[in-house]
Structure formats: structure tokens, C-alpha cells
Structure 1
Amino acid sequence: MFQRPRGTRDFSPEEMAGRRWALGVLQNVALRHGFREIQLPTFEELELFTKKSGPGIVEELYAFKDKGGRDLALRPEMTAQVMRFYVNDLSKRPKPLKLFYFGPCFRYENPQAGRFREFFQFGAEIIGSKTPETDAEAISLAYHQLRALGLNKFDVRIGFIGIYRELLRRLKLSDQDSAIALHLLDKGDVDGFRRFAAKCKVPEKMVEHTLSLRECKGGPEVLETVSIGPARDYFAELVDALTALGVDRWQIDLGIIRGLDYYTGMVFEIDAPALGAEKQICGGGSYDLVPLLGGEEDVFTTGFALGFDRVLLALEKEDVKIEDTPLEAYVIAVGETVRKKSLEITNRLRESGISADFDSMRRSLSKALKYASLVGARYAVIVGEKELLKGVVTIRDMRSGEQKEVGISELVGHLRA
């Protein structure tokens, strides 16, 4: 017997109903915020992901050679793909360009609760704008999406990785060494950071100052401890924009250092405490990937990715009811002579926008009704020979058990009532 690969999942019809509903909510909120949807390939050239991803991502890639000898990889995330698409085909469009997308991503990591080798992301990007309002709009979209799903217990934390990049620049660290240092800080590996800083001959005073920044959390007042003035001015404008956009709970947390190496300015994360150790459900920030992907100019972008699977798990932890779309009508033919008519009735219901199925196994009435109950049908539509002669069918309410005869011409209106 074949088993599914480790770190992957199968989804039942009931689970897919919930996933479709949740995705629909995310998409609708994005559309209301002026974003437009794109779709991206599942695999890309390997170098797209190795060129600017952090060391942790590169180590987890599913990479392979195709039959033509080309080095390819399943996508570990989708931001680099969006910017590749932008450089190739979208760069002449009016700015800002607001895009969203959804799909599976792949990383070879140790599967555990809330962490899989195949996982799903919903992402959004605002391309071509570098203002506090742009950053606030990205945070606002993620915030209002989670609220629309019904999630109540989540924390929005906002940082500024530009502070760390400026410190590392002053220390004259190479791009590669800076990436390693930021990766260690992002993972909270304080001892590893100390060892690496010592190897790079970073003064102990600067090491302690850098580590102390990670503890700066709270309101705008925490920025008074930051020696880099532009960060303070930026956050003041960001806070005003967030308030105007209805984002009413957040905190500044300079301990946020995104593991992907292309973030340059604002970074943010959203946590769902109910998930425990794997509580992060969203992460993003501002960056400029265009020059690295062959673009001719700097194009600043702000975006984020929602961990779709973790968001659903957080909803489950909060007992949020995920909407389902049950089968509205199950049509049962009682007798050979009415079988064709039952199919016609099923088709008429479907064309009228009513979800309908029919008994294709030619079961007895009692067994067909039992099946209708098991699949959660709202109504059973019983097509009998005698009733058909009168131009009626019998409708059975599968919740109450009540039955009544309804004219075939009135069936659609009755089911919609």
C-alpha cells in the first residue's frame, strides 16, 4: 500500500470546504483593498531562490535537474517569483502595482505541528512605492483579512531591519557575512551570533548594542533608544497611517529580523498565541529585489505571506466556525419510468444555481434517503411515478423530516425560500 510522502497531507471534502471558504475570504478582502490576483509556476530556475534567500531557505530547497539538464527547484516561497514576473512582464504597468497570489510551497524541514514540507501561502505585494502609507497598507490588508476570518487573538509586531543593516554596514561586513549575522539574529541564536561576530572582529560593545536592540518592544517611545533618527520619523508616520486604516492593535518589536535576506526596511510579523511554539501566521516587510533579478532600477516593494495552514489551525483553536456549503438537494427517482425526469430536474436545479446531486446507484428509497442524510443534503427531492402524473414532486426536509408536495415549476422557488 502506498503512503503519502512525509510532510504532506490529504484533505477530505469537509476540510476542503473550509479551506475554500477561508481562501475566498482572503481573496475578497484583498480585492476590496485594490489588489489584483496573479498565478505563478510551482518550480523555477534554482538560482532565483539561491541568489538572495537566507542560508536557512537554501538548505531546505527541493532542487533537481530536469531532463534537459537545467537546475530547477520547487518554490520555497513566492516573493522572488513575483519580482521575477515583474521584471519580465509587468514593469511598465502603472505604480503602485498591488498583487496577491496563493499556492503551495515546499521546504525540506522536520515535519511537526503547524510545519509541513508542502504548505500553502497567501501573499500580497505593493510594488513601486516607498512610503509609510504603503507599509501601513500591507499591514492593514493582513490585519483585516484575519479579522474577516473571525480570528480574534493575534498580535501584530512591527520592526525595522534597516536599523540592523545600517549597523552592519558601519562595521564594514560583507553582504555574505551580514546575511549570516541577520540569519543568526532572526533565529534567536545569541551564542552563535556572538561567535560569528568575534570571528568577524566586531567590537564587543557593538555586539552588545546590537543584541540589546532585540529587546526593544512597546509603543513609539521605544525608538528613543535608537540612535538612527530616520527610523523614529518613519515610525511616527507609520503609526498615523495604521490608525487611519483601522489597525488598532500593534506593537513595535525591534527583535523582528526576517530570515529572508532581501528585506531592507520595515518588517512585521503576526502571531497567534494559541499555536504555541509555531505561533507565527504572517510575516513580511519592505525590500528591493529588482536589481538582483536583472531589473534596471530600484523598485521598492512591501509585501507579506500568510501561512494559510497555520491560520486555519488558529481558527480551529479559537473554535471559529468555518462556513461550509452543504448539498442543497438530493434527487431520488422512485421507479424506472421517472429516472430520466429526475435527471432533468437535477439539471434544472443546477442551472438555477442550486447545488444538486442525484441517486446514480438506483437504490431503494430508504437507502437513498439514508445516503442523503449522511452527505448532509438539506433536502431530498423524491420523484415518484404517481406524483409525476400530477406535475409534482415530494420534498423532504432532512433536518425536520417533514415532507410536502411541490409543483415541479415551483421547485426552484421553494428551495430558495
Structure 2
Amino acid sequence: MSSAAAVPVTPGLTPGLVPIMSVATGLAVAGNYYAQPLLPAIAREMGLSAAGAGAIVTTAQLGYALGLLLIVPLGDLLERRRLIVVMTLLAAAGLLVTALSPSMAGVFVGTALAGLFSVVAQVLVPLAATLAAPAQRGKVVGTVMSGLLLGILLARTVAGALATLGGWRTVYWVGAAAMALAALVLARRLPRYQHSVGLSYPRLLLSVLGLFREEPSLRLRAFLGAAAFAAFSVLWTSMAFLLAGPAYGFSEVTIGLFGLAGAAGALAASAVGHLADRGHGDRATTLGWWLLLLSWGSLYFAPLSLAALILGVLALDLAVQGVHVSNQGAIYRIRPEARNRLTAAYMTCYFIGGAAGSLVSAAAYGAAGWSGVCLCGGIVSLAGLAAWLGGSRLHKAVSGA
């Protein structure tokens, strides 16, 4: 193994860099969600069935999963600023290909490219944790992760609004331009940073599996992340059916605005970072799981009360973001030199949980309506709470804490 190389980094984070990284993270992940409200329009133009148009979303998800496994670990090998800028430009290129495509083949290629390189968000988060002072790390990670969740929640709202102004391709033109601008700003503002682990690329990828085997804390936090994002997907996958159905009869534009309610919860969750910075990360995790479980009690009454729905959405998004931030704070303390590989391992499980939650939610709504969705969400949340309470006690017993 070769010796590790290190390029000196600008001490700490320069003023304004955290918001820049947060916005760039949100823009990157938003590219995977633009298509969801645009599928009917794309299907009409391309002459596709609903199932054929839905394959666009699946393509984005597969691209993102592949990026998590194959690209994110490179952050522990290559110089970070250059890697981030190149990935951001390639994600912009993917969006541009989609905007220019005259056929579905081009749309799928552009979607796959954008999904593959949008994992730049998962390189920015560990870099923010690395650059932050230890006493501020939780707050910084919370802020950047709020940007990521805001990107997921607001992408649908923004895409719907832009499409009404200039058609579905306008969304991808604007998205590509925004990503290109983000690459320019990041190239100018990010400090150079490299800390290579000295592994070949194949051994680097294998070491991700080794981290799972060697670190019980990573295994626990990965399961918790998967369960939390599954609960998130259970809600957001089926909520549009409820809002468009007899209970409310809202239009697509109005439904998209509910992302704003979730965004408020995501922004409030940055306070979780303060708890972690003061040594209360485990307490934040416990509070998050209890809040997540209780949120389904409010959501159960959503068909009868809009206030109950909004309260439940706020609570659930706050809880999911809180658990996620405390999870990342915990895994980043395991091996600082392996933060990108830890992120790849954790986020792959997080992504699998989200995909499973979407599948379960759609099946539950079809079989038992909104009450079935709430039951599934409650079960997933209860399983996460039980795993956390049991796992944390076992860890304390083994470590003698």
C-alpha cells in the first residue's frame, strides 16, 4: 500500500461556503425528481404508455444507485474539489441531453447520466464534515443535509411550475444551467482537499464491504437510515393519491405545493446538529424515532383534516431528517479517513430503504387505502425504534459504557 497523500486544506469553512454546498447538494439530487410531475406530458409527446414513462424514474434511481456504489468511494482516493466540479458538470450534461432529446432513447441516456453523477451530493456532505471544526460538525452536516432533502421535496413543485410556463423541456434546460453555474461557483469557492487511502480502485470498492463487516455501528445506523427513508417514501409515494382523490380533489399544481410543508420540517431539522455537537446525538436519534412513530397518528386522520395532514407531514419530515443527520454524525466519527466509503455504504442502504418504502406504499394504498399506508408507515417506524433501542443498549453493554 502506498503512503497516503494529503493536500493542505483551507482551515475550516470560509464564510458563505456552507450555504453554497447546501444549495449545490439540493440542485444535484433534485435532478432525479424533476420527471415525476412531468411524466404525463413526456408520455403524450413521445407516445408512451404510463408504464413506459414511469421507466424514466426507474432509470434515474438505478443511475443513482450505481453512482453510490462506484463513484462516491472515489472521494477517499481523488482530490475532492476537482472530483466534485467534474461530477457536477457531468450531471448538468445529463440534464442537457434530456432537454435536447428528440426520442425516448436520448431521454433515458440523459436521465441515466444525470442520476449517475447526481451522487456528487454524497461527496459534498462528507467534505463538509471534514472541513468543519469538530464543535460545529453536526450543525454543518445538518445544514447541508437540509439542502439535500429540500432538493427532493421542492423538485416536484419547481418542475410543475416551470412546465406550465414553457413545457417539460424547460425544466431540464433550467436544471442544466443551474448545475453548470453551481460547478463554476464550487470551482471558485471550494478549497482543494485530498487524503488518499492509497488503495487501488478495485480494493477501494471491496473495502466498502469490509467496513460493513468490521463496524457494528455502521450496520446499525445503515439499518436505521433505511427504515427512516422507507417511512418517508411510504408517505410521499401515496400522498398524491389521497390529495387527488375524493377527500380533497386537489389539482397537480396544488399537490406539488405540499412539498413546501415538508420543506419546513426539513429546515427545522438542522437544529439536530446542535444536539450532536453538544454530545447528545443519541438523544436526538431517540427523539427522532418517537416523533416519527407519533407522526403516523396524525397522518391517520388526514382524510378528515387538512391540519392533521400538514402537522403529520411536518413531524415526519423533521423526524426523518433528524435521524438521518444524527446517523451521519455517528458514522463520520468511526473512521474520518473513510468518510466517502462510509457514506457510500450508508447511503446505499438508505436508498434501498426508500425504494422498498415506495413499493410497499403503492401496494398498501391499492389494498387498503390511506389507512393501509399509515399502518405500513407505523410498522416501519416501530421497527426502526425497536432496532435503535435494542442496538444502542447492546452497544453500551458490549463497550462497558
Coarse TM-score class (shorter-chain normalised): under 0.3
Greater Rg, structure 1 or structure 2? 1
Scaled by the length of structure 1, what TM-score is found?
A: 0.19
Greater share of helix: 2
Bigger relative CO (Cα 8 Å, ≥ 6 apart): 2
Greater share of strand: 1
Scaled by the length of structure 2, what TM-score is found?
A: 0.20
